[in-house]
């Protein structure tokens, strides 16, 4: 309910007020929503970094570049698992969402782990 009130207040402000209010936005968001927003942003950053680093690895200019980006993608995938667990543990996502998202991410970790292990074994 607080979130709806906050969104309504933002819509009623004039454009100039909206621009200047960006600086004060974090302090004006209800505290419980700030937590969710911060966790989701962390998950979004880590999750999108997996794909970006994987793409860079596959188009790397050297074996060292491929290795480096592959390990970064693995690290980001593991970090994503952490954020997903944290969101679930704090009841920000339900069991169904958790199982789906966590399962997909866990699959990525396995694939990337296998790739990184193979890279290390061939050196």
Task: Specify if 50 maps to a domain.
Answer: yes
Q: What is the pTM of this model?
A: 0.73
Question: What residues make up the domain containing 38?
Answer: 31-121
* Domain total in the chain: 1
> CATH number of the domain that 49 lies in?
1.20.1440.60
For residue range 47-85, list pLDDT tens digits in order.
Answer: 999 999 999 998 989 999 999 999 999 999 999 999 999
Model confidence band, residue 123 (pLDDT cutoffs 50, 70, 90): confident
Angle value at C-alpha 72, between 69 and 76, nearest 5 degrees: 140
Task: Specify if 115 maps to a domain.
Answer: yes
Task: Specify if 10 maps to a domain.
Answer: no
* The predicted structure's pLDDT at residue 60: 85
Task: Specify if 37 maps to a domain.
Answer: yes
Task: Specify if 87 maps to a domain.
Answer: yes
């Amino acid at each position: 309910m607080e979130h709806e009130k906050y969104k309504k207040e933002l819509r009623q402000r004039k454009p100039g007020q909206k621009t200047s209010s960006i600086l004060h936005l974090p302090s004006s968001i209800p505290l419980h929503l700030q937590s969710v927003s911060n966790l989701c942003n962390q998950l979004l950053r880590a999750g999108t970094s997996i794909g970006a680093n994987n793409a860079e690895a596959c188009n790397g200019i050297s074996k060292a570049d491929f290795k480096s980006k592959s390990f970064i993608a693995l690290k980001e995938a593991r970090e994503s698992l952490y954020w997903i667990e944290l969101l679930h543990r704090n009841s920000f996502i339900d069991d169904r969402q958790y199982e789906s998202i966590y399962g997909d991410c866990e699959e990525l970790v396995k694939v990337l782990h296998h790739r990184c292990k193979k890279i290390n074994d061939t050196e």
